[in-house]
Structure 1
Amino acid sequence: MKNPVPAKKKRLDVHGVLLLDKPAGISSNDALIRAKRIFNAKKAGHTGTLDPFATGLLPLCFGEATKFSQDLLDADKTYETVVHLGIRTTTGDTEGEIVERTDAVSFRTDEIEAVLSRFRGDIRQVPPMYSALKRDGKPLYEYARAGIELEREARAVTVHELTLLDYSAPCLALRVRCSKGTYIRALGEDIGQALGCGAHLKSLRRTRVGFLTLDSAVSLPALEEAGGKTAGGNPPSLEPVDYLLSSFPSLALNAVLAKRFLNGQRLSLAKENIGTAGMTGRCRVYAENGVFMGTAEIRPDGVLAPERLVALPDVFAS
């Protein structure tokens, strides 16, 4: 008699945001899969990838929180990186093969600062071949692994901060705060090229995404040790669904208006006597009992237009 096939573990409705400190050596998707398995969650997604060799802040969204992940994809990011001067690699980081070495990598600090000044503000950057950007449906890194190099157009990005933290030849320690779409590997290579010696990234750590910081992030080992549960049965360090929207203004609707809002109806602020205290643009919307219902836009014509709604427990419970 054959042994019965064990029943699959039922996935759970887990909703919220996890700030993960991603370790080196795994992809962002692998980190997401491991966290999703720990929580036994039905649905999860990340808010922008980190290279496998990189570490640091990787916000993960579960359940209804995935509806708001786009807001972090567009946010500024902050990194701390070590640029190894004098060595170029195929990937621009430690995972690639060495393609060029230069011995002359001793510079004065003022020479380095002069070069760094050229990469602050609005710049144009050519995306690296080892990236997830797609061409004809295939990511560029697949072409690169096959030995094919394609022409890439330079893209406009903004480097808000580029600070020299330390210089001990042949390595520069930098802090970078930049706009979405900025490749720190490409920035490191460009700095090396400007110095005339080539370079690659020795390490890369993301410390901030928008208003989120690494300070409250949890590691995968800590998450796995807890088994996805605390003594109270709740996922550890899981922030509420509206956590990514903390910087948005908020307003509350009474039961009648909340029902209309959840049905996707637009509401006239003046007609319904909804106090917004001069708010405009996107906002968080709650039921009068404090339950988060979704986001909306306060339009110039004074209309509250529902944007993304959440499907969570009864918003009318007292």
Structure 2
Amino acid sequence: MDGILNINKEPGMTSFDVVKIVRRMLKIKKVGHTGTLDPQAKGVMVLCLGKATRIVQFLMGQDKEYHFLASLGIATDTQDSSGEEIAKKEASFVTKEQVEEALDNFRGEILQLPPMVSALHYQGKRLYQWAREGKEVDRPKRKVEVKELVLLDFKEGTYPELTLRAVVSSGTYIRTLCHDLGEILGVGGHLSSLTRTRCGSFRIEESRTIKELKNVRDEGRLKEIIRSMDEALGQFPALTIKERAVRKLLNGLPLLQEDVNRRDAEIEPGDYLRLYSPSGRFLAIAKASTVGQIFARPVKIFQPVQSEFTTHGECHSRVNGNPAHLA
């Protein structure tokens, strides 16, 4: 079973819990995810099954969309509602206009200091392991991009509550955004609740909870909800290569301009590409090149080298290639 599964993670489950349950439910050994969600968070969690685990790296960097609730006036040691209060300040004087003005500081490219309670590594340990030992270590700020940040609702009170929507680059910490927003407003703040509504092209409307996944499995309809690898990589331009170039590609050799049969999009050097045979078979991911006459170099090959595409007249003889590229 190879493909991509869009799971709607429920609060209280760790990302590893989801992977473990799906692995057992579908009786498949290889299951990977494209980005963790904190236990108290819910929403889209993209799982790669079987051979699709080989494309995790290409899905991890996709933009993510969140709907979340930020509480002002209370700061915690984890920057979210799971932590202990470390500061509390009456914040009823904060206005919606002040919040809107403060949000301008977080739109576009920003530098963010990763929270201590996170899975990032530092000197052989994850940051949360250092935090459990009561130690705060120096860690560099990271550049992230907040592409959209919208205040959906402002609830007045002693501790105002903000409902927001954000579209961010991979690696952005929403709880840190809430914490930093509270700091700018001078009252402190933390993340109260978080829902990931989109990860790349995977939307929450199309996701399935673990219970729903079990029902689909029991009804024998898994194929209806598992997306193919090339469909999941739809952000990469699709190219059809010529019949004579299929063997070359399966051997892991670079392609020339003359090997390409048809282009459906403009290609820039460094772009990742989806390569297809003349019959429409998804063959590989390649990277566009500018070295000499080389057009693209294969990065991942998904069809076995010793294949005979006799049905479509491709590669009638068996060929030997570099097994390092094979699924």
* TM-score for the superposition, normalised by structure 2: 0.86
Give the conservation status (yes or no) of the 8 Å contact 2:72–2:91. no
Q: In 2, distance between residues paired with 1:65 and 1:105?
A: 50
Q: Distance in 2 between matches of 1:224 and 1:204?
A: 25
CA distance in 2, matches of 1:277, 1:154: 39
Paired residue total: 302
Equivalent of 2:282 in 272, 279, 292: 292
Indicate conservation of the 8 Å contact 1:68/1:244, yes or no. no
Match of 2:196 in 1: 206
Distance 2:42 2:12 in 1: 9
Shift of 1:287: 2.4
CA distance in 2, matches of 1:242, 1:69: 12
Gaps of 5+ in 1: 1-13
How far is 1:303 from its partner? Answer: 2.4
| TM-score, normalization by structure 1 | 0.88
| 1:130 paired residue among 111, 117, 126 | 117
| 1:93-242 alignment runs, 5 A limit | 93-169=80-156, 170-226=160-216, 228-231=217-220, 234-242=222-230
Q: Which amino acid is the alignment partner of residue 192 of structure 2?
A: K
Tell me: CA distance 1:157–1:267, structure 2 relative to 1, closer, same or farther (3 Å): closer
Q: Which residue of 1 aligns with 2:254?
A: 266
Is the contact between residue 242 and residue 261 of structure 2 (CA under 8 Å) also seen in structure 1? no
What is the CA-CA distance between 1:229 and the residue it aligns to? 4.9
Once residues 34 and 228 of structure 2 are traced to their aligned partners in structure 1, the CA distance between those partners, rounded to angstroms, is: 16
Mark the CA change 1:66 to 1:317 in structure 2 (over 3 Å): closer, same or farther: farther
Deviation at 1:183, TM superposition (A): 0.7
Query: Aligned with 1:275: secondary structure?
Result: strand
Distance, in Å, in 2 between the alignment partners of 1:304 and 1:119 is 38
Shift of the alpha carbon at 1:311? 4.2
Q: Does 1:304 align with 2:292?
A: no
Q: Which moved more, 1:170-179 or 1:299-308?
A: 299-308
The CA deviation at 1:162 is: 1.2
Cα distance in 2 for partners of 1:208, 1:246 equals: 15
State the distance in 1 between where 2:209 and 2:310 align: 36
Distance 2:66 2:279 in 1: 39
Q: Distance in 2 between matches of 1:304 and 1:201?
A: 44
| Matched residue type, 2:134 | G
Unaligned stretches of 5+ in structure 2?
Answer: 312-327
Aligned counterpart, 1:81: 68
- Identify if the C-alpha distance between structure 1 residues 317 and 175 changes in structure 2 by more than 3 Å, giving closer, same or farther: farther
Alignment map for 1:57-76 (pairs within 5 Å): 57-76=44-63
**Is 1:93–1:200's contact at 8 Å kept on the other side of the alignment?**
yes
Find the residue that maps to 1:239 and give its secondary structure.
coil
Between the two proteins, what is the percent identity of the paired residues? 36
Contact 2:238 2:273 in 1 (8 A): yes
Contact 1:85 1:105 in 2 (8 A): no
Query: Per-residue deviation at 1:236?
Result: 4.9
Q: Separation in 2 of the partners of 1:253 and 1:229?
A: 40
Query: Is 2:239–2:260's contact at 8 Å kept on the other side of the alignment?
Result: no
The corresponding residue for 1:6 is none
Q: From the superposition, tell whether residues 106 and 316 of structure 1 become closer, same or farther in structure 2 (CA, over 3 Å).
A: farther
